[in-house]
Amino acid sequence: QAMEKSRPLWDNPLQFVFACISYAVGLGNVWRFPYLCQMYGGGGFLIPYFIMLIIEGMPLLYLELAVGQRMRQGSIGAWKIISPYLCGVGMFSVFIFIFKCPGNTGNLPWLFWGFSPHVPPSQDPLPWATCPLNSNHTGYEEECEKTSSTQYFWYRQTLNISPSLEASGSVQWEQALCLTLAWLVVYLCILRGTESTGKVVYVTASLPYCVLIVYLIRGLTLHGAVNGLVYMFTPKLEQLSNPKAWISAATQIFFSLGLGFGSLIAFASYNKPSNNCERHAIIVSLINSTTSVFASIVTFSIYGFKATFNYESCINKMILLLMNTFDLEEGSVTADNLSEMKGYLMATHPQEYAQLSPQLRNCSLQAELDTAVQGTGLAFIVYSEAIKNMEVPQLFLKSPKSFSVPWPPRVPLWPQLEQGISDVLPEGSACPWEILPSLHSVVCLINCVIGLIFTMEAGNYWFDIFNDYAATLSLLLIVLVEAIAVCYIYGIRRFEKDLHTMIGRKPNWYWKIMWAFASPLLIISLFIFYLTDYILTGKLQYQAWDATQGQLVTMDYPGYALAVIGLLVVASTMCIPLGALLTFVRKRLKRESVST
């Protein structure tokens, strides 16, 4: 039977909705969603994203909330009630939690170090407003001249990034101290336990929207913002045949909603049994996806300004170069006739033009939109660009940290851990809650030590590995097992009766079709497409910063990085078969002991 909670965590249903939003809304919406939009062709990513929201996101969020609310236990205990052989599903969620914790907090040191020590409150101009002078004070730093002042500040002064994963470098003590500070903040947030969670969710859920609105107002007033928005909403239909775009859309839905981590099940277990989890699943899904699109509009408006500025700067440099080289009259070369003048000068002055050709560039707004900003630094670079162009930038200097605020109080991850302890204890025994502060301190310390890898010069590349592979295929597998377990092991009709008992009505045909057929089949198809694509390409690649070119270049992962990726995937996925095997062996031994 379901175990009743001795003390509800939520004072009212609205608080639960705010908690889910606080859990979901964060850097995943602010940088990961716009980054995927840019990677897969703007509107070409929005199409699979909203298809995944309808087929995967809302149905599976409803399923997890209903399972937690009905079983009244955490992830491990809830799936053990459905079937003892599914205890590995809950352990799977705990492993994903362990693997994702270092990555989720890995970007906080960059925020603390990038925006605090470098920038006194009164500094004007901001350090990323212009390129720094070289050591001889005869010009600007060569690397900065080849890119932009904002990107230089991010990649060189904040990350001090290495040219490749192999050149790992040493731990940078400034970032290491900031990492320690970040985990200290996390520990203080969870020190009082889960009962303090409900007190802060109103603030943590609302604050990112206030910051985004400020950036939206400024972003839409910047020159070239429309170019970024057109780029965002114009689909590249060829991306619809790219299986990686669909897999990225599915995992973005799982990441942003928190599906498969077990935290939502633990969260919902504190609800009243009569709570309308169907309505809450719809509300949270729509708010979360709207937030992602809203954050992308903000990002791409600033992104369009940056690309337009780079494009116009390129045009002006080419015009000035041609006028000075060929002694042309001022105004004879414009942006409109630049291509014609190049052709004319190449025909009339072939030798001079040939000598000049290495310095000439083909300026393209589309190329700038495709390559202006990439990678995990998208939000940091773009929003820093927005701060630079505000009237009083110092007032907004600390606001990038606001996007990291939702994570430390993302205490739904910690109730999952606490529930896991309770679930694995023998039946009838009480959880020694007095050990939780010590447990939290140990977990925070371990994650802080693991996170030191992100403070190395190659830390950004390791961050990408944890972000891309620690819970990508694993999430697809776990939600597939969850849907199959509820529909075909627990039974869809039995689950219908449970929902009728809780909310007073049975689920309609949409929910049942999605749970039983559409969602599992789509996830299986994604697995097949991903494996097929990997077999055809045969390699995994990453984006590395090339200081000599001032841009990102594509490189192959070295062998030891591939081993880490394999370990991250296998370590969590093996929990399900190992859990079933251990349950089978335990039952077999128990039967043999009874028979003897």
Q: Is 30 assigned a ligand-binding role in the annotation?
A: no
Q: Are 278 and 70 in contact (CB under 8 A)?
A: no
Tokens of 199: 């007190």
Q: What's at 77, amino acid-wise?
A: G
Say how far apart CA 484 and CA 263 lie, in whole Å: 19
Q: Is 89 assigned a ligand-binding role in the annotation?
A: no
Q: Is 316 assigned a ligand-binding role in the annotation?
A: no
- What is the separation, in whole angstroms, between the first and last Cα of the chain? 30
Q: What letters, b where the CB count within 10 A reaches 16 and e where it falls short, cover 101-118? A: bbbbbbbbbbbbbbbeee
What lies within 8 Å, CB to CB, of 22 at 6+ separation is: 200, 201, 204, 205, 406, 409, 410
For residue 125, whether the previous peptide bond is cis, meaning omega lies within 30 degrees of 0, is yes
Q: Is 24 assigned a ligand-binding role in the annotation?
A: yes
C-alpha Rg value of the chain to the nearest Å: 26
Say how far apart CA 185 and CA 105 lie, in whole Å: 11
DSSP three-state, residue 328: coil
Please give the backbone phi and psi of residue 327, each rounded to the nearest 5 degrees, phi first.
55, 50
CA distances from 388 to 140, 211, 222, 410 (A): 19, 16, 12, 30
Say how far apart CA 66 and CA 337 lie, in whole Å: 64
Say how far apart CA 491 and CA 85 lie, in whole Å: 15
DSSP three-state, residue 541: strand
Torsion of CA 572, 577, 579, 583, to 10 degrees: 180
Closest to 99 (Cα-Cα) out of 574, 576, 577, 567: 567
Q: Is 160 assigned a ligand-binding role in the annotation?
A: no
Say how far apart CA 480 and CA 495 lie, in whole Å: 17
Tokens of 541: 């690649």
Q: Report how many helices (DSSP H) and strands (DSSP E) the chain contains, helices first.
A: 29, 2
Binding residues: 24-25, 29, 256, 288
Binding residues for Na(+): 24-25, 29, 256, 288
